[in-house]
Structure 1
Amino acid sequence: MGGLARRSTAIAQYAKENPNTVIVDAGNISDSPAKLDVIMSVMSGMKYDAIGLGMSDLVMGPAFFEKAAANKLTILDASPLANKQAVPYVVKNVDGVRVGIISFSSFPKDAKVNEYELRKSRFETFKELRSKCDLMIVLDEDGVTTDEWLQRNSVRLGSPDIVIPGQWRTISEEQVVGSTHIMPPHFQSKQLGVVDIEYSPGQPVKVTNNSVNLDEKFPEDKQVADQVAKGILAMGLVPQEMPVAQMSHTPDVKPYYSPLLCKACHQKQYDDWSKTKHAVAVKTLVDRKSTTAECLPCHSELYRATEKYMVTQTPYAGVECATCHMNSLPHGLERKDVAVHVKVDPQLCVGCHTKERSPSYDEKTYFPKVAHAGVAPATTASRPN
């Protein structure tokens, strides 16, 4: 919650500079019910116009919607399973321009959803809203608005002008598909997406996207900072067994190989690994109370394989043997004297060390930090297992 105070300052500044500001969030606003009161109260004070639904929100059940209603926040859900306190869309008049906002929310994997009814509800709601607005914004946590979907449905449904996706679309810069501008998602309140839009009837919408770092240039809103601090004190210790939201769009499930299995034969390599930040990547999230669906896929090999995580008695859990060496697993003694080693692909690293999440990442300096002893730095790009 630490970024809320700077976010409040930034939003207030932009809203003051441009009164015709629309403030939205795609969803996944909290990973714990204990944080909802503070987060929603602050977001209400920031005057959010609409909030979509992510998996982290949905796993909290009715409490999420009750607290949203208490804080007068508008939650959007265009599905047939929508909570009665959510609305399918909103239309806001912004200086004479009708701005429509709709949300395609995530669903738990065990949700009993009729795919036909889901598509029908979303399509009908989408088409209805498109006919009622001049400018259309889609908040998409469920991965509906793929490039193919946008191209295929632009004629019969109409194209949205802006798409604000969830983590399923891993882009760091704006993308344009047809007439739709797709914004890069931002996580953990470290950045704020600011989109300048010029609308003229009958003309293509002009869009300028800017990802703003919420750093020292935005002083913390003291009132919000105090509110967050009091909220953290009131929460105390958040139970670590809190359910973690499952992602709707995850890689194919793969076996999980504990590093303890590798340790039986590779004690030296295990000791090397245990001294790296990779080995305590889960603890890093627990300490920051950030065990969310956005963070766990990069911080927990167990979560990547099973969509679950745990805080074990051993302090070591995170980016593990299997994360880098999956192509060699499982194996037995047949690899003891193997002459040709499987090499680690550096592209594995940039999947998580993106420009947005890890701006200082440099393969040449980062690889030596996690390399096993005896591996020469010069071989980092093709380091053998």
Structure 2
Amino acid sequence: MADAMRPAWAAINLQALQHNTHVIRKLAGERRILGILKANAYGHGLTRIAQALADIDAIGVARVDEALQLRNAGITRPIVLLEGFFAAEQIPVLAASSIQPVIHNMHQLEQLAAAEHVSDAMRVWLKIDTGMHRLGIEPSQVSTCYQRLLDIPHVNGAPVLMSHLACADEPDHEQNRKQLTRFSEAISPYQGSVTSMANSAALFAGIGKEYDWVRPGLALYGVSPFSETIGRDYGLEAVMNLQASVISVRKIKAGEPVGYGAAWAPATDTHIGIVAIGYGDGYPRHAPEGTPVWIGGRCYPMVGRVAMDMITVDLGADLRVALGDTAQLWGRDLPVEKVAEAVGTIPYELLCNVARRVQLDYLD
């Protein structure tokens, strides 16, 4: 037997995280970096990633509980709440915790103006809808909202003006030009205001270079924001290595079915390996036959149906895998982008869906 066997775990390489931050810093230059840690830091573990991040200027999360979790863990760096507050009762809490909400509609603005018992002045961001049409005030509302925010006693200074690109992962898409033009026109009366536009894709594509804050998310974790490329193409390193032990190796005769529904049977005699990971761990249940799994220096095809706790891998007639070997589902040797392509999804979904029962091992 090889190593001691384990169910699914994720080895989180913090040196790779620092390396990626260095790559991003070189691209960002003098611009400030808002590192995006929403969705449990894309599955990598919110608090530990926040503690490990160096050379960024602020942290972005989506939900109030994420922001408060970081404050309770002793994180003092500025935190931006990307979806803003969901209820007026949250405003004093955010102010007391120095959490900066994004204001993206008039309802939030009215709640902020009417808020009582706000003991600390808070910085805010103002989101403008330039064509994404999800969150953000209309460009025609910028003047009213900007001045209203200046007039609120518990707002500290002018808001950061921001927007979000719908097609940054397609750098030549006409929508990018339209949105950049609308943003430029919307903020033109506010020369000297702090601004933000670029996510990971825009940063690496060189879109919106003139704005003050960049907002990398996916790239922090070593993943390419563009289709048909991998993070390594941009000098990035995978932070998450999702792994599990091979807990069974056996010979299967031609035509003998394996797994639920007898959905797969080998055409010739072969060996199979059972790997201790399944949809209960966040591995995609709809992963098709042939999805790659890395074991012992080579890729093998997954076969049959994904079960709650196990997957089956066709090891071939020439057996080179032993009981207890470690299988990598994605990571340094098997880019998550390649697995996402095989599964028919995007790397974001695979990373964010890693289940809480998967142990995160942090490697300094």
Instruction: State the TM-score, normalizing by the size of structure 1.
Output: 0.33
Structure that is richer in strand per residue: 2
Larger helix share, 1 or 2: 1
TM-score when scaled to structure 2? 0.35
Higher relative contact order (CA 8 A, sep 6+): 2
